[in-house]
């Protein structure tokens, strides 16, 4: 083993570091030292990692032959990690220290990931804009006056600022894809049941899933390999695939049939975002793919998502609303009250609408290999803005409406990935959303890697500016 400069390690990909760890060319201790120095140097400006646990990380045993081989991993502050402060971004739980880890955090450690930090999130993940009353806002490394979106905003900012190689995210209505887009990193929303997400939640009908975030497609695939696999404690869980996801990414195979939609028929989209999505589709065409405008029929998506999201808030936060209303932010109060007021008829209708969307998406992907569409309808906005109230001259009625191009995909139950696609004239990142067929993470990662290579954008971490 030879000494490595901390800055050199920070710039390396997770895939390379895992290979180096396995070959004993670098140690977990060296990586933790490099991260601790980097966090001390830059995180004060972006506030991505408000809770650090380097001492715990240095005592963590790494199972022999584990796929992550001792690579440090950052975990979102909606996920409990034993012995570490977990706040959910809420004053109600500001001093909570977890007794036990959630299943996804246990999976990370069992697969050789070393947890060293918690990433910032909005209160209970609500709002797709990362700020809370416990830790304050997270700022965009590309422009400290801009938002990182959310709710996995701390994870995305940590990755791009060099404070993480891999970071766990979660995604209900774009909570993993939006921040990946705003920060110029890769975020994958897996199929439901691909990654263990217990305990709690709705084990049979999850809208929210845990997933990997990284700087490159291969790194994201590597992390998905580590996260995937059945868990007997879950009501439903998928086995790990025979072919590792990292192999799919390394093969970088362009799809043959590519559908493109600039708005999914759901939302206004800023012109520069539409242009970026169209340019990405042309890249696939240059690789020999058949590219046409098309998208699944997402009729009923707005009603279904608003109702099912509200139902989830009623289940998760009904008691908090009754006992701690004064400590909840307005968006959580509104969404929980909406859920508590739902009728059985409204819930039944939403479930029927979603079933129709899932069935039509299945039929759509029998014809198309990949769908290319926006990862968000807007570009990074001011960090003080709670949520965008309009886009391209169209006003939004609720704090959820601006998320339609991602929550519409959530309802299909198909895997979706946000890939850096380009930049605004001001140098702010724009992500492109790629959607694969049901349980088709492998081909999706291969297509994403092919597009990543064609775009040739620099995935290296940046200094906040």
Q: What is the pLDDT of residues 259-282, one digit of tens each?
A: 999 999 999 999 999 999 999 999
Residue 174 CA to residue 418 CA, distance in Å, equals 10
Token pair 């709002």 is found at 127
% of the chain at pLDDT higher than 70: 99
**Active-site entry in 155, 175, 181, 191:** 175
The answer to the question of residue 107 being in a domain is yes
The answer to the question of residue 464 being in a domain is no
Q: What crossing angle do the helices spanning 14-22 and 217-227 adopt, rounded to 10°? A: 60
The answer to the question of residue 347 being in a domain is yes
Stretches in the chain below the pLDDT threshold 70: 1-3
Structure tokens, 343: 């009728």
> Which ranges constitute the DSSP H helices of 228-370?
245-251, 271-286, 301-324, 330-340, 344-364
Residue 161 CA to residue 180 CA, distance in Å, equals 13
What confidence score (pLDDT) does residue 193 get?
97
Give tens-digit pLDDT for 183-222.
Answer: 999 999 999 999 999 998 888 888 999 999 999 999 999 9
Residue 427 CA to residue 450 CA, distance in Å, equals 23
Burial of 202 by CB count in 10 Å (0-12 exposed, 13-18 middle, 19+ buried)? middle
How many domains does the chain contain in total? 1
**Computed over its alpha carbons, how large is the radius of gyration of the chain?**
20
The answer to the question of residue 158 being in a domain is yes
The answer to the question of residue 120 being in a domain is yes
Catalytic residue flag (residue 329): no
The answer to the question of residue 203 being in a domain is yes
Residue 77 CA to residue 85 CA, distance in Å, equals 8
Which residues are within 8 A (CB) of 236 and not within 5 positions of it... i.e. 6 or more apart?
193, 203, 204
Give pTM, 2 decimals: 0.98
Token pair 């001792």 is found at 70
> Which ranges constitute the DSSP H helices of 140-204?
153-160, 177-183
CATH number at 326 reads: 3.90.1300.10
The closest alpha carbon to 307, from 262, 357, 267, 263, belongs to: 357
**Active-site entry in 76, 146, 160, 329:** 76
Q: b/e for 10-30, b at 16 or more Cβ within 10 A?
A: bebbbbbbbebbbeeebebeb
Identify whether the C-beta of residue 255 lies closer than 8 Å to the C-beta of residue 289: yes
Catalytic residue flag (residue 175): yes
Token pair 């966090």 is found at 39
Dmax (CA) of the chain: 66
**Active-site entry in 90, 101, 151, 237:** 151
Q: Which residue segment(s) compose the domain that 11 sits in?
A: 6-455
The answer to the question of residue 434 being in a domain is yes
The answer to the question of residue 460 being in a domain is no
Catalytic residue flag (residue 146): no
Residue 123 CA to residue 148 CA, distance in Å, equals 15
Structure tokens, 218: 């291969």
């Amino acid at each position: 083993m030879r000494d490595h400069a901390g800055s050199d390690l920070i710039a390396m990909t997770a895939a390379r570091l895992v290979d180096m760890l396995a070959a004993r060319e670098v140690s977990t201790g060296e990586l933790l030292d490099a991260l601790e120095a980097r966090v001390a140097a830059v995180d004060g400006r972006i506030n991505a990692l408000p809770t650090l646990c380097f001492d715990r990380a240095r005592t963590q045993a790494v199972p022999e032959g584990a796929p992550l081989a001792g690579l440090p991993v950052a975990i979102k502050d909606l996920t409990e990690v034993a012995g570490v402060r977990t706040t959910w971004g809420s004053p109600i739980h500001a001093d909570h220290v977890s007794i036990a880890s959630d299943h996804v955090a246990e999976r990370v450690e069992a697969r050789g990931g070393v947890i060293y930090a918690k990433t910032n999130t909005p209160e209970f993940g609500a709002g797709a804009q990362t700020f809370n009353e416990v830790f304050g806002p997270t700022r965009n490394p590309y422009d400290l006056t801009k938002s990182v979106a959310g709710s996995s905003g701390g994870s995305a900012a940590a990755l791009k600022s060099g404070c993480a190689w891999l970071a766990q995210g979660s995604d209900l209505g774009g909570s993993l894809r939006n921040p990946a887009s705003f920060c110029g990193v890769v975020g994958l929303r897996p199929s439901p049941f691909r990654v263990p997400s217990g305990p709690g939640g709705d084990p049979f009908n999850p809208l929210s899933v845990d997933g990997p975030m990284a700087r490159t497609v291969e790194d994201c695939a590597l992390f998905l390999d580590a996260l995937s696999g059945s868990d007997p404690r879950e009501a439903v869980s998928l086995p790990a695939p025979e072919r590792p996801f990292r192999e799919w990414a390394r093969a970088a195979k362009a799809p043959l049939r590519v559908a493109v939609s600039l708005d999914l028929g759901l939302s206004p989209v800023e012109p520069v975002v539409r242009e970026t999505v169209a340019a990405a589709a042309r890249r696939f065409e240059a690789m020999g793919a058949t590219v046409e405008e098309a998208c699944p029929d997402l009729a009923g998506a707005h009603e279904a998502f608003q109702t099912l999201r509200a139902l989830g808030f009623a289940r998760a936060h009904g008691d908090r609303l009754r006992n701690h209303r004064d400590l909840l932010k307005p968006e959580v109060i509104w969404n929980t009250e909406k859920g508590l007021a739902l009728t059985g008829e409204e819930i039944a209708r939403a479930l029927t609408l979603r079933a129709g969307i899932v069935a039509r998406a299945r039929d759509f992907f029998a014809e198309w290999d990949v769908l290319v569409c926006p990862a968000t309808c807007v570009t990074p906005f001011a960090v003080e803005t709670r949520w965008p109230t309009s886009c391209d001259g169209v006003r939004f009625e609720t704090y959820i409406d601006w998320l339609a191009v991602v929550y519409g995909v959530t309802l299909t139950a198909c895997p979706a990935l946000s890939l850096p696609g380009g930049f605004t004239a001001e140098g702010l990142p724009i992500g492109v959303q790629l959607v694969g067929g049901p349980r088709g993470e492998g081909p999706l990662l291969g297509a994403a890697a092919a597009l990543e290579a064609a775009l040739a954008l620099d995935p290296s971490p940046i200094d906040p500016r």
